[in-house]
A and B are shown apart, each in its own frame.
Chain A
Amino acid sequence: MFYREAGDFSTTYPEDSQTFPIKFDRYRYYVVLAFAFLVVPFIINDYWANAILLPFLIYAIAAIGLNILTGYCGQVSLGTGGFMAVGAYSCYKFMTAFPDLSMFINVLLAGVVTAAVGVLFGLPSLRIKGFYLAVATLAAQFFLVWLFNRVPWFYNYSASGQINAPERTVLGVAVTGPNTSAWAAYLFCLVFCVASAIVARNLTRGSIGRKWMAIRDMDIAAEIIGVNPMKAKLTAFAISSFFVGISGALFFALYLGAVEVGEAFSIQKSFLILFMVIIGGLGSIFGSFAGAAFLVVLPVAMKIVGADMLGMPTDIVAHLQLVVVGALIIVFLILEPHGIAQLWRLAKEKLRLWPFPH
């Protein structure tokens, strides 16, 4: 009833190509943003921050990054975990080498370093395509994890081989280390997450985004109409890795606090992010959020239902989780290969015509 576009005309091209061309969508977006920035910080507690909100925001950034590479540019990557590790370790190096630097700068620099590493591992994409490339990105995954595990310089020669996030501040407020309050960490991640989403949206709606999608849909035709495939693919790797690196830095510094690379950034992480992108919807920024939310909430919900309510042993719940996630992925792919984002689009389509579908 209230979801209508009738009478909502775009009279200029910029108006037509804005992110939320329908008024109702636009207002809902502002309300969500206002709620996230102005209300949540006052009601947040440690449990909500650590169980749901921080992982959601951080994974959403990684999913946006991978979605740019895989969903928009069509280059499948199984190396996301490795690139997150680059973000985490470079952030750690910056944090320890320049203690006075704002955490903001540290995270951004970590993104830049990861972008450079991403370009390096993206070079083979100029020659290798499809599954071969997907497997080739595993080289990045295994090599990077091995590197951070075996070269002591990266973990500052600590005896445990772990990296620990020291306390760093933004505008005098601690955002890392043991004295961080939940709202500060949350707001810090939220700013990065929202900024990432906006930048990703801007890039994907303009000429760079079209170059990526052209490469994705038919690379030879793209080259013949004037897209430089090398430039297009490498920028996709760079931008994607930039976001993934930021996500890795936040994951380490704000969420975990201490990281052992083989555990935190294993190939399982690569798959997790990939699942988020698939379940959420390839080639959709909204889908990245939906996928991240789904896979963050699902295990928590299963733990509450299985272990707390039904009293099952935790190892059985863990196994059930694998079964359920695996089955859900298959079911999603069968029912809707384009993910939650597509379901959402279809629902809106229906809603637009409701209650007179003809």
Chain B
Amino acid sequence: MDEGYTTTDGRKIGGVVMEMKNITLRFGGVVAIKDISFDIREGEIRAIIGPNGAGKSSMLNVMSGFYVPQEGEVWFHGKPRPQMKPYQVAQQGIARTFQNIALFEGMSVLDNVMTGRLTQMKSGLFAQAIWKGKAEAEETENREFAEKIIDFLEIQAIRKTPVARLPYGLKKRVELARALAAEPKLLLLDEPMAGMNVEEKEDMSRFILDVNDEFGTTIALIEHDMGVVMDLSDRVVVMDYGQKIGDGTPDDIRNNQAVIDAYLGVSHD
């Protein structure tokens, strides 16, 4: 196994963080993902693209442990990941956002971001019931971290606002904040720019690059918008009808005939 590479803009990419090995996922008779393998390296921005119904979201759900593939293995940090519950996957350091925003609507922005810290907060029931002392100290410590993320994503002004009152673009940003608050080793973004206007897309792209730059977070993202993906990512996986039809740097992908066919709609078979 090689030891990474250096990107065109000079960032050093490390070893493999997560590797998908021959993943096949079926729902009843429908094959959502068919025998797909690829890897994600430390510090890189990895994109998964493909037309509607290609199985991208299913792939992300396999990575985050929400779906269990019928065949194949997910390797994380050089070991095959045993079958585990989604919350255990999260505790291993994988955080994600959702295509249809999945914020906790009944809570404030701050509380939502603080839920990202839940995997780090360990004080027990009695400590919390008494509050003064251990629980309060822990709360303060994690609040400081959460505030750092809030500053970073420039959502200070709305921290006490109930999430339900926010516009779409801000909700997406709060969701990113919640995922970042978990200090993830691997961050999965499910269509982070879906439904945004150009300005919001630019903001979001900037945040994604900043996150990668500032915290060195490894990021895997799914996206529709080819233009954005090509600018953002270091390497791209292309999926179509549950199969991998391309994998490589954005330049490779641009010249890949199978990818061009899939996007321009050449008839299959």
A and B touch in the complex (CB under 8 A): yes
B131 at interface by CB-CB < 8 Å: yes
Contact A225 B125 (CB under 8 A): no
Interface residues of A in 110-157 (CB under 8 A from B): none
Whether A210 lies near B128 (C-beta < 8 A) is no
Write out the residue numbers on chain B whose beta carbons fall within 8 Å of the beta carbon of A235.
125
In the assembled complex, B198 has its CB within 8 A of some CB on chain A? no
Residues of B near A226 (CB, < 8 A) are 87, 90-91, 118-119, 182
- The verdict on B193 contacting chain A, using a C-beta distance below 8 Å, is no
Report the number of A-B residue pairs with Cβ-Cβ less than 8 Å.
109
**B115, A210: Cβ atoms closer than 8 Å:** yes
Given contact pairs A217-B105, A221-B102, A225-B178, A207 touches B87 in the complex (Cβ within 8 A)? no
CB neighbours of B64 from chain A (8 A): 224
Contact present for A213 and B106 (CB under 8 Å): yes
B123 touching A207 by the CB < 8 A rule?
Answer: yes
Q: Find the A residue at minimum CB distance from B98.
A: A221
Contact B104 A217 (CB under 8 A): yes
Binary A-proximity of B68-110 (CB < 8 A = 1, otherwise 0): 0000000000000000011101110001101000111111000
B123 smallest CB distance to A (angstroms): 7
Q: Does B151 contact A (CB under 8 A)?
A: no
Q: Which A residues are in CB contact (< 8 Å) with B140?
A: 12-14
Q: Among residues 200 to 248 in chain A, which have CB atoms less than 8 Å away from a CB atom of chain B? A: 202-203, 205-208, 210-211, 213-214, 216-218, 220-229, 235, 239
Cβ of A202 and Cβ of B129 under 8 Å apart? yes
Find chain B residues with CB under 8 A from A283 CB. Answer: 106
Contact with A along B141-158 (1 / 0, CB 8 A): 001100100000000000
Most buried by B among A214, A226, A227: A226
A214 touching B115, Cβ below 8 Å: yes
**Are A224 and B66 in contact, CB atoms less than 8 angstroms apart?**
yes
Chain B residue total in the interface (Cβ 8 A): 43
Q: How far is the CA of A202 from the CA of B126 in the complex (A)?
A: 10
Q: How near does chain A come to B187, taking the closest CB pair, in angstroms?
A: 12
Q: Give per-residue flags for A3-14: 1 if the beta carbon is below 8 A from chain B beta carbons, else 0.
A: 000000000111
Q: Is the CB of A225 within 8 A of B143?
A: no
Q: Does A268 contact B (CB under 8 A)?
A: no
Tell me the minimal C-beta distance from B179 to chain A in angstroms: 8
Task: Give Cα distance in the complex from A141 to B66, angstroms.
Answer: 35
Chain B residue numbers with a CB within 8 Å of A213 are 104, 106-107, 111
Greatest chain B CB density within 10 A among A13, A203, A225 is at: A225
Q: Are A224 and B128 in contact (CB under 8 A)?
A: no
Taken residue by residue from 182 to 217, chain B's Cβ proximity to chain A (1 for < 8 Å, 0 otherwise) reads as 100000000000000000000000000000000000
In the assembly, what is the distance between CA of A182 and CA of B104, in Å? 45
In the complex, the answer to whether A216 meets B118 with C-beta atoms within 8 Å is no
Asked whether, in the complex, the Cβ of B128 is within 8 Å of the Cβ of A206, the reply is: yes
Q: What are 13 sample pairs from A and B whose C-beta atoms fall under 8 A apart?
A: A14-B139, A199-B129, A202-B130, A206-B135, A207-B118, A211-B115, A213-B111, A217-B105, A223-B85, A223-B87, A224-B89, A225-B95, A229-B87
Given contacts A12-B140, A14-B139, 6 further A-B contacts (CB under 8 A): A13-B139, A203-B125, A207-B139, A224-B64, A224-B66, A227-B115
Q: Which residues of A contact B (CB under 8 A)?
A: 12-14, 17, 199, 202-203, 205-208, 210-211, 213-214, 216-218, 220-229, 235, 239, 283
